[in-house]
Amino acid sequence: MTHDASLLGLRGLDRPSIEALLDRADHWLPRLEQGGPPPASRAVVGLMFLEDSTRTRCSFETAVHRLGHAPVVLSGRGSSASKGESLRDTAANLAAMGMQALVVRCGQSGGPRIVRDATGLPVVNAGDGRHEHPTQSLLDLSTLRDRLGSLEDRRILIVGDILNSRVARSNIHGLTAMGAHILLAGPASLVPWRLADLSPAVTVAHDLDAVIDTADAVMMLRIQRERSAGRAVADDYRHAFGLTRARADRLAPEVPILHPGPVNRGVELDDEVLDDPARSVVLEQVRRGVAVRMAVLEHALAAAGGDN
């Protein structure tokens, strides 16, 4: 990240680089409503959202506005992507219009790298297939750091469809860099033992009730029905792996509960747990997401030689 204007993933990003971005996001957080001073020149940032998104797309768009730049949003439906135009060709056309950076969400793992290589523009990965979702992880780290202070030796429990989750993959890289221990829990079909090979900091568990008491923070993940993982999960998912009221009551009061959204209410989280303002930091994650994306875009545009 420090040597490259793009942010394609958190894999390989070191702790000082992550901390620099989180510190810059903390700078933006109290200024979210007013944004920054007007930039010397207004950059045009292309937001290529070729796969569905609510939070990430709106958050990037808000971040571009708050920085005083101009977003141009392209979505999969209603664009030539639905006529079969390749990612590379679509991106090359946006670059030819003079855009200064691209944000890419797509179903294809590695898509943002293809766009970076094809255009030479700084590219920010907004979630690619099952690969990575680095800005989601950065906003999770920002939220965790706010609640827990240093993440060194903290135990972060991530529950659910880890196999299909780009959020989990980015968080494994990010949390490892921050010195945390990561406990992955879920059914064996979605949390295979081999996930422990991703990092020495990772432990795998298939019995949530056996490990939940040990967590300093709990991150619940969505069952990725569109990646056909839902079929592998029995109807009693909530019973075995949902954060029910009863399970949440076993957590110490200061243990934050995270979820990247969208939430399947009553499956991953009970309504009372999700809506409990003392425990659930789900909307705080969203708030921090804008500041984190401001920091990432600012870096991308500065490193690429643009004003911001």
260 is a contact residue toward ligand ASP (CB under 6 A): yes
In the bound state with ligand ASP, the residue whose beta carbon lies nearer, of 257 and 301, is 257
Longest dimension (CA), the chain: 56
CA dist list (Å): 164 to 53, 62, 192, 229, 289: 16, 28, 11, 7, 22
261 is a contact residue toward ligand ASP (CB under 6 A): yes
259 is a contact residue toward ligand ASP (CB under 6 A): no
39 is a contact residue toward ligand ASP (CB under 6 A): no
Counts of helices then strands in the chain (DSSP H, E): 11, 9
In the bound state with ligand ASP, the residue whose beta carbon lies nearer, of 116 and 131, is 131
In the bound state with ligand ASP, the residue whose beta carbon lies nearer, of 230 and 261, is 261
In the bound state with ligand ASP, the residue whose beta carbon lies nearer, of 90 and 136, is 136
Considering only 133, 145, 154, 173, the residue that binds ligand ASP (CB under 6 A) is 133
Considering only 115, 167, 201, 208, the residue that binds ligand ASP (CB under 6 A) is 167
Considering only 222, 247, 293, 299, the residue that binds ligand ASP (CB under 6 A) is 222
In the bound state with ligand ASP, the residue whose beta carbon lies nearer, of 179 and 262, is 262
Provide the minimum distance between the beta carbon of 133 and ligand ASP in the complex, in angstroms, as a whole number. 5
Are 99 and 45 within 8 A, CB to CB? yes
Crossing angle of helices 55-66 and 134-148, rounded to 10°: 80
Crossing angle of helices 134-148 and 166-177, rounded to 10°: 50
Are 46 and 103 within 8 A, CB to CB? yes
Interior/surface letters 265-294, b for 16+ CB within 10 angstroms, e for the rest: eebbbbeebbeeeebbbbebbbbbbbbbbb
Identity of the residue numbered 176:
T
| Dist CA 83 CA 159 (whole Å) | 38
Q: Write out the binding residues for ligand ASP, residues 135-154 only, by CB under 6 A.
A: 136
166 is a contact residue toward ligand ASP (CB under 6 A): yes
Task: For Cα atoms 177, 181, 182, give the angle at the middle one, nearest 5 degrees.
Answer: 95
134 is a contact residue toward ligand ASP (CB under 6 A): no
Positive or negative, the CA dihedral 285, 291, 294, 300 is: negative
129 is a contact residue toward ligand ASP (CB under 6 A): no
| Dist CA 233 CA 253 (whole Å) | 30
Provide the minimum distance between the beta carbon of 149 and ligand ASP in the complex, in angstroms, as a whole number. 26
68 is a contact residue toward ligand ASP (CB under 6 A): no
In the bound state with ligand ASP, the residue whose beta carbon lies nearer, of 27 and 227, is 227
Provide the minimum distance between the beta carbon of 4 and ligand ASP in the complex, in angstroms, as a whole number. 23
160 is a contact residue toward ligand ASP (CB under 6 A): no
Residue nearest to ligand ASP (CB): 222
Binding site for ligand ASP (CB under 6 A): 127, 133, 136, 166-167, 222, 260-261
